[in-house]
Homo-oligomer: A and B are copies of this chain.
Amino acid sequence: MGGDFAPHNVVAGAVDALRESHGRFFLYLVGIQKRVQEELAKISQGAKVDSDIYAVINASEVIDMHDAPNAALKTKKDSSIAVGIKLHKEGKADGFVSAGNTGAVLSASTLTLGRINGIGRPTIGALIPTAASPCLLVDAGTNVDCRPRHLFEFAVMGSVYVSAMLGKENPSIGLLSIGEEESKGNEVSLEAFAMLKKSNLNFAGNVEGRDILAGKVDVVVCDGFVGNILLKFGESVPAFFKSKFKGFAAKSFVNRIVALLARNGMRSVMRELDYQEHGGVPLLGVNGVSIIGHGGSTPKAIKNMIYRAEEMVARKVNARIQQAMLRYAR
């Protein structure tokens, strides 16, 4: 029931995933049963999905985008988010995927599933495109005021995630700061630098704002305040260029022809910045697999989120985080 286009986009993405995966996994569709089933009937018209590989689980309530997360979780105990996470907690499901209220998914996941030993602050990482291979920006907006220890945890989780999910061995970690030198940073980042330097992570030192898209490191570590602002800034760049390119096109007839010709090229380039393609971000540091999608998730994004959850389970990301944290336990 989550997201701006629920239940349509969610069910459509689920149906696509079920059709493509040929029974590789079993899907619980959690929500207001009647509406989910109506949607299913509409979408799978003509080519029915095998009923052995999915089930609809009723959840009578809906937490919407405007609900205050913690209050909503208390008053709407039978929401699709609460019911879905419970399925996961009880071991009936191996992972959870939602495009719903981000704060509610975060809270429900953290409270119900609990944190991995040694992790103080679960985190969300976002994969962003670079001139080289994608890099993980972590924290992407979950933890706003951080202590150095938290940034350190983000680095460990980010390193494990990139290594397990993108197959990068010993990923390089950069600490986002205002200069390359060890002496550059704010109070929190300077202390985090010292912790990272002592660790056996592949720490590349400080990276600057310009190093992210250049693909200088595999994991960029920052607090969620900086991460959120940066990601939203990045998302706004295509619209900015589009408006400027329109200005260019309006200047002359020749410009207009050129702009028309170049439109597809521009689009294909801009698409690289489209987070929809990647499909959701993982919540790292909880005892479970929880993938959080954009409210505006397309069916394709939903499908990719389901695959990502499947992969996180298969690649035992959490066991690897646990193992990595044990090394730094005091």
Contacts and interface: CB of A to CB of B under 8 A. Distances in A.
Interface string A224-236: 1110111111111
Nearest to A131: B243
Contacts of A145: 186-187
Contact of A233 (B141, B187, B233): B233
Contacts of A131: 239-240, 243-244
A182 interface: no
A233 B208 CA distance: 8
Interface residues of A, number: 53
A186 B144 contact: yes
A229 B261 contact: no
Given A213-B236, A214-B240, A236-B213, A229 B178 contact: yes
Contacts of A25: none
A229 B265 contact: no
A225 B178 contact: yes
A235 B259 contact: no
Contacts of A208: 228-229, 232
Contact of A130 (B212, B224, B240): B240
A141 B178 CA distance: 8
Interface string A180-217: 00000111010000000000000000001111111000
B239 A237 contact: no
Interface in A115-164: 130-131, 141, 144-145
Contact of A265 (B189, B213, B262): B262
B239 A214 contact: yes
A265 B260 CA distance: 11
A239 B262 contact: no
B237 A213 contact: yes
Contacts of A265: 245, 248-249, 255, 258-259, 262
B236 A209 contact: yes
A166 interface: no
A232 B209 contact: yes
Nearest to A257: B261
A268 interface: yes
A328 interface: no
A224 B179 CA distance: 12
A223 B185 CA distance: 12
Contacts of A226: 225-226, 229
Contacts of A235: 209-210
A231 to B, nearest CB: 7
Contacts of A233: 209-210, 212-213, 230, 233-234
20 contacts: A130-B240, A131-B239, A178-B228, A209-B231, A209-B236, A210-B232, A210-B235, A210-B236, A212-B233, A213-B237, A213-B239, A213-B240, A214-B239, A225-B226, A226-B229, A229-B230, A241-B269, A244-B272, A258-B265, A261-B262
